[in-house]
Amino acid sequence: MCFINWCNNYVEMIKINANTKISALLKAHPQALDAIISISSKFNKLKNPLLRKLMASRTSIAMASKIGGVQVADFFEKFKSLGFEIDETIAEKKTNNESNLPIFIQHISKENIKELDVRPVINSGNDPFNIILNSVKQLQKGDVLKLINSFEPAPLIPILNKQGFEAFVEHESSEVVNTYFYKINETEINSPDLTNNEEDWQSIIEKYSNNLVTIDVRNLEMPLPMLTILEEIEKIPNYKALYVYHKRIPVFLLPELKERNFDYRTKEITDGEVHLLIFKA
């Protein structure tokens, strides 16, 4: 009882508004996660620590309300009962306010927007990375690629940033996320190197035979496979290797591994199963 009273006394000093980040709520109160999930079943994804880490620091109460199909007032009511102080005098920051938009979005014409909906590709169990790369390669000067998906393509954004693209993410609804890509310089667009295959697979297996960490990401929804692998390689020491069971060659992941000074080998088992070995270069 004392602990509960201490928590409530602590959060009474925290004032929240429509622009408060979800991460601040989670940090402030031990019951915050359960409270958020109770507002809408669409927040169940926050139970996954990787998605929670990805989304919470970038999502405000106002944005989360839109994603969950609820009202900001629903958050206020729930967190007021936990002892939070509510400030309704601060207006929600409008993400579609012209001053908040990047220059390329403010001045783009409809004719220059090239749409690519990758939801059917993902729903069929395939990876849309190469389709996306081919689409950005075909963009003419002044064109913008509008990538339509059901989630924010967090792994893709830094990859294209490094290839000279600026990105802007728009949460149209709880089921539709639009990501706009505009090329701001003439950096050459490179496809990931897939030449590191299974030629020396067995020798590497033998090298790390007693030091393999194994994970299975075959049943995870995108983008969790990549996020899970990136999270795991940060934990393993240099003398160990990560053995991954995957459904496909994760082309989103490969440039990121090189960037982080990791090497890899892939071995295609069947059409729907690929094994990976990831180790320090």
Residue 189 domain-assigned (yes or no)? no
- Parallel/antiparallel/unpaired status of strands 144-149 and 177-183: antiparallel
Q: Residue 254's pLDDT band (boundaries 50, 70, 90)?
A: confident
Would 26 be classed as within a structural domain? yes
Token representation of residue 32: 């915050």
HEC per residue, 16-50: ECCCCEHHHHHHHCCCHHHHHHHHCHHHHHHHCHH
Residues 104 and 178 in one domain: yes
Q: Is residue 190 part of a domain?
A: no
User: Is 53 or 18 the better-scoring residue by pLDDT?
Assistant: 18
Please report the pLDDT score of residue 242 as a whole number. Answer: 95
Q: What does the pLDDT read at residue 118?
A: 92
In a domain, 92, yes or no: no
- Residue 257 main-chain phi, psi, to 5 deg: -65, -45
The stretch 197-213 carries a mean pLDDT of 86
DSSP β-ladder status, 15-16 and 85-86 = parallel
pLDDT at 142: 86
Quick one: pLDDT band at residue 98, thresholds 50, 70, 90? very low
Rg, the chain, Cα only: 22
Average pLDDT in the chain:
82
Structure tokens at 251: 């082309």
Q: Are residues 138 and 73 in the same domain?
A: no
Which pLDDT does position 222 carry in this prediction? 74
Domain boundary among 24, 59, 86: 86
In a domain, 20, yes or no: yes
What is the residue range of 261's domain?
201-280
pLDDT exceeds 90 at position 241: yes
Q: Residue 257: is its pLDDT beyond 70?
A: yes
Which of residues 281 and 211 earns the better pLDDT score? 211
Q: Which residues pair with 277 in a beta bridge?
A: 243, 265
Q: How confident is the model at residue 12 (pLDDT cuts 50, 70, 90)?
A: very low
Q: Tell whether 118 and 79 lie within a shared domain.
A: no
- State yes or no: cis peptide before 223, omega within 30 of 0: yes
228 in Cβ contact with 242 (< 8 Å): no
For residues 258 and 21, the model is more confident at 21
Let me know if residue 192 belongs to a domain: no
113-163: per-residue pLDDT in tens? Answer: 999 999 998 888 777 888 888 898 888 888 999 999 988 787 788 778 888
Q: What is the mean pLDDT of residues 100-110?
A: 78
pLDDT at 27 over 70: yes
| CATH number, residue 263 | 3.30.110.40
* Same domain? 81 vs 107: no
Q: Which residues pair with 221 in a beta bridge?
A: none
- Does residue 19 carry a pLDDT above 50? yes
Residues 65, 137, single domain; the answer is no
The reply to whether 109 falls in a domain is: yes
Asked whether residue 36 is assigned to any structural domain, the reply reads yes
Q: Does 106 lie in the same domain as 177?
A: yes
Domain CATH for 77: 1.10.3910
HEC string of 83-94 equals: CCEECCCCCCCC
Q: Which tens digits make up the pLDDT trace of 30-49? A: 999 999 999 998 888 888 88
User: How many separate domains does the chain show?
Assistant: 3
Do residues 31 and 8 make contact, with C-beta atoms less than 8 angstroms apart?
no
Between 93 and 148, residue with greater pLDDT: 148
The Cα 248–Cα 274 span in angstroms is 5
